Structure 1
Amino acid sequence: MKNLLIVVECINKNKSSEGIATVNFLNAIDTNQFNVDCVFYEFPQFEISNPDWINPKIKLYQLKNNKLDFIFSKYSKIKNFFAKYFGISILKEYRIFRLKKYLNSKFENREFDLIFSRTIATSICSHRALISSTLSIKNNLLIYFNDPAPFCLMPYPYSTGSTFNPKFDQKEIKHVKFIISKSTAIASPSYLLNEFFLKLNGDYFKPAFTFPHLFFEDLVKKNFQPSVKYDRSKINITHCGSLLSGRDPSTLIEAIEEFVKMYPDFKTKISLNFFGPINNLHKKILNTNYYEFLNVVDKRFSHAESLALMRNSDLPLLIESSYEDSPFMPVKLAELIGLGKVFLVLSPKKSETRRVLGENYSFQTESNNKSEILAKIKDFVEDTYEKEILQNRIYTLQEYVSPESVNISLNKVINQFS
């Protein structure tokens, strides 16, 4: 049995996409091959007491939030003071201090075949704590990034390249470079994201591994009834999940508006559904009083509900930014591939999504390309698209997002550094 220590910052699958990704990763590990210890330290807003969706053969260690975690998270005056005068996030620094201390005390005399550290978004707290702990001296460290980090290096429109505090930005960039340099190897769900971090650190010889997001068929409950139901007299085109500021649906709406003007018979036969939290930037365009075909439910759905809604939709949507670069692999991409449904992708040409799907997957275009979106909606509604070719491509990719891929990759990493 090979010994793994996994350090994570979110296993709350109902509060964040990284929570979903981490839970899937943990549950994919073959506990007949690996003895797994997992430390989790949730951010206060994701705090959870009973994560009963994790394989019980994985030994969980929870570092619970204390009063200071909640104080540093809640009070803006305290956060702003430390950011302005010291160029730090007091909540992050406190979490790093606590997690480092916990790792040193709990695992001081343990050795592992591999320590795998996962962060959430641009936090990097778990990485910094692990790199500075005594565990980093005698263990191989695989550092996993889910997103570009720090936040100032997120692609536009999520970031403009800086925050209100340049001192903080520069410190965070130095931290990321230091983490990469001290790691045995890096990993991410995306080939393009690995390229991003290797370029940032200027070390193209650093080993990098891709652990794509996963899909578990068992999570799709066959008879599960979500809290909202589709109007089955209509063609349902559906986006599930958070509609973040960078995911602009306006061109899609304009394309469907033009389609129903061209084909008035479809005015009451198409429903464009948005199920999930809506960023304030998009609430005006998503006003259902303006568009008869719009159906918007602005609330957070459970993971099970989102999967059921995607499965039951006629045409699910995957919307990314309308700008040039998107190195992320969305969790939703793995889920849509796993569900085996044809879906419409609105994503930049240079994106991990389009790299994975390949050029022959014709149901993809940029989210601001109105004529292409209109053409693809028309093809779908009239059933004139290359259904068999698209379906076969999705089936081919299901192995890529299968749980078995995790164990193959873990063994590959361990064998390379043993």
Structure 2
Amino acid sequence: MKILVVVDSINIEDSSGSKANVALIHNLREAGFEILVHHFTRKDIRLKNIQTFNVPEIKFNPYYFLSRAQRVISRNLKINLAPFFEKKFGFSFTFFNDTNSIAKALKKESFKPDLVLTLSKGASFRPHYAVLKLPHLHDKWMAYVHDPYPFHYYPRPYNGVQDGYDKKEHFFREVSKKAKYSAFPSQLLKEWMGSYFPDFSKTGIIIPHQNAKYEIQSNNFPSYFDVSKFNLLHAGNLMKERSPEGLLEGFKIFLDKNHEAKNVARLILLGNASDHTEMLNRYQKEIPEIYANNGNKPFDEVFLIQKNVSVNIILESKSEISPFLPAKFPHCVEANKTILSLAPYYSETKRLLGENYEFWSEADKAEKISNLIEKLFQLWKQNPQNTFLNRKDLDEYVSVEYLKEVINKLNLKVK
């Protein structure tokens, strides 16, 4: 089977979305499918044993010149015209030029796929917009939807409304109608998006974020990490809506109750946390057992630490529901260390871990979080292997074999 993948970026260092996309691409190849990747990374990046094509940007196009003129005006006159144009057209001139560039490249492609898979990141969905312009691909198109879209369809506390929201909504309704298949990383996200765009409920399948093989380039631990300690790690961006206060306070209460833990327990937070800088600085100053790096670390370093901590933490926003499957979920499963899930009761992470999974709490329940950390600490003291996750069912769920089974069930007419 031949699969054409159209993707925003294959640079695993630029976002968790790109990491998830690259893992999916690798696993499709590992499953035995013939893969060609069209990407818009703006860097010459190659994937091992996979044919890639870096889509060139069109530079002789009205949208290109308009986007550059807008940047010059913004820089020199300090006038931000983006909200005005996005309200009028729904998207930026750069977005239109990028999607035209992708569509042009696809029109010239001689590769004859059995399936066209569009992957995106953040809130752009440029590959989807490009393929929407190409009706001859719609009968073999699978639109992968990694997050709710548009932004006003996010669950609370994410409650913003983007400029041109109505045009973005129209765009995604067209995607839901024209794509023969749709795919979602989580069951809850499929149900969530299907409530706004009913066609997704008819065409949707679940392809979870993948556990792809990744060779760590260096086994040297950074200076802030002592593998002999009881280490709890949260790796990932702490957005404004994703407050770490309950976790920080829970760790503080745990230390206050367990004085012997101060010599061996460490809470490590890696990732951009600019919205919580003051809070993190305050807790770090009071509690030296907390290490918070407000910025991005190389994936190689983060993955090495994930595999060698005692507990991996998945922190989500305080909400009634979290339909997302965090991109780091398969990394945490592969690390085989207990996952401390801080999420709403109705969340995909909790659903997968199971109704009776012990180490779950809502993100703001500091007292409960401290009790869970204490239980994990006591288990670790008895034997560090007691904190192994050991979930074969989850290993299989994010595996190549499961992915192959899902794709083969589509019964595509393979040439």
Q: Does residue 151 in structure 1 map to residue 133 in structure 2? A: no
The one of 362, 369, 376 equivalent to 1:366 is: 362
Local SS of the residue matching 1:219:
coil
Cα deviation 1:186-227 (Å, max 9, x = unaligned) = 001111111122221123652211111111344345x62243
The one of 59, 63, 77 equivalent to 2:51 is: 59
Question: Does structure 2 retain, via aligned residues, the 8 Å contact 1:241–1:306?
Answer: no
Show the counterpart of 1:300.
Answer: 296
Show the counterpart of 1:96.
Answer: 99
Residue ranges of structure 1 left out of the alignment (5+ in a row): none
Question: Does structure 1 retain, via aligned residues, the 8 Å contact 2:90–2:167?
Answer: yes
Q: Does residue 225 in structure 1 map to residue 220 in structure 2? A: yes
Show the counterpart of 1:285.
Answer: 279
CA distance in 2, matches of 1:387, 1:313: 10
* TM-aligned CA distance change 1:359 to 1:98, over 3 Å: same
Deviation, 1:322, is 1.4
Deviation, 1:98, is 2.0
* TM-aligned CA distance change 1:178 to 1:315, over 3 Å: same
CA distance in 2, matches of 1:188, 1:417: 23
Deviates more, 1:388-397 or 1:84-93: 388-397
Local SS of the residue matching 1:343:
strand
Q: Does residue 79 in structure 1 map to residue 82 in structure 2? A: yes
Deviation, 1:130, is 0.3
Mapping of 1:246-257 within 5 angstroms?
246-257=241-252
Local SS of the residue matching 1:360:
coil
Local SS of the residue matching 2:278:
coil
Show the counterpart of 2:15.
Answer: 16
Show the counterpart of 1:116.
Answer: 117
Deviation, 1:321, is 0.9
Deviation, 1:149, is 0.8
Show the counterpart of 2:398.
Answer: 401
Deviation, 1:266, is 2.8
* TM-aligned CA distance change 1:32 to 1:390, over 3 Å: closer
Q: Report the TM-score when normalising by structure 2.
A: 0.88
* TM-aligned CA distance change 1:156 to 1:255, over 3 Å: same
Show the counterpart of 2:109.
Answer: 106
Question: Does structure 1 retain, via aligned residues, the 8 Å contact 2:55–2:102?
Answer: yes
Deviation, 1:134, is 4.2
CA distance in 1, matches of 2:232, 2:239: 18
Question: Does structure 2 retain, via aligned residues, the 8 Å contact 1:217–1:338?
Answer: no
* TM-aligned CA distance change 1:117 to 1:414, over 3 Å: farther
Question: Does structure 1 retain, via aligned residues, the 8 Å contact 2:253–2:367?
Answer: no
Cα deviation 1:105-128 (Å, max 9, x = unaligned) = 334xx5421111111122122112
* TM-aligned CA distance change 1:72 to 1:328, over 3 Å: farther
Deviation, 1:183, is 0.8
CA distance in 2, matches of 1:291, 1:140: 55
Question: Does structure 2 retain, via aligned residues, the 8 Å contact 1:271–1:295?
Answer: yes
Q: Does residue 174 in structure 1 map to residue 170 in structure 2? A: yes
Question: Does structure 1 retain, via aligned residues, the 8 Å contact 2:254–2:371?
Answer: no
Deviation, 1:48, is 1.9
Aligned-residue CA RMSD in angstroms?
2.8
Deviation, 1:387, is 9.5
CA distance in 2, matches of 1:131, 1:345: 37
Amino acid at match of 2:316: E
- Sequence identity of aligned pairs in percent? 25
Amino acid at match of 2:146: N
Show the counterpart of 1:272.
Answer: 267
Q: Does residue 40 in structure 1 map to residue 43 in structure 2? A: no
* TM-aligned CA distance change 1:284 to 1:356, over 3 Å: same
Local SS of the residue matching 1:97:
helix
Deviation, 1:398, is 0.5
Deviation, 1:358, is 0.8
* TM-aligned CA distance change 1:40 to 1:198, over 3 Å: same
CA distance in 1, matches of 2:393, 2:360: 17
CA distance in 2, matches of 1:175, 1:370: 42
Cα deviation 1:54-112 (Å, max 9, x = unaligned) = 132x22111134664984896653423412444432222222222222212334xx542
Amino acid at match of 1:160: N
Deviation, 1:33, is 3.8
Local SS of the residue matching 2:371:
helix
Question: Does structure 1 retain, via aligned residues, the 8 Å contact 2:227–2:309?
Answer: no
Question: Does structure 2 retain, via aligned residues, the 8 Å contact 1:152–1:161?
Answer: yes
Amino acid at match of 1:409: V
CA distance in 2, matches of 1:190, 1:386: 34
Show the counterpart of 2:77.
Answer: none
Amino acid at match of 2:272: P
Q: Does residue 141 in structure 1 map to residue 135 in structure 2? A: no
Local SS of the residue matching 2:391:
helix
Local SS of the residue matching 1:301:
coil
The runs of 4+ residues in structure 1 deviating greater than 6 Å are 384-390
Question: Does structure 2 retain, via aligned residues, the 8 Å contact 1:361–1:393?
Answer: no
Amino acid at match of 1:370: A
Q: Does residue 312 in structure 1 map to residue 308 in structure 2? A: yes
Residue ranges of structure 2 left out of the alignment (5+ in a row): 75-79
The one of 226, 235, 240 equivalent to 2:230 is: 235
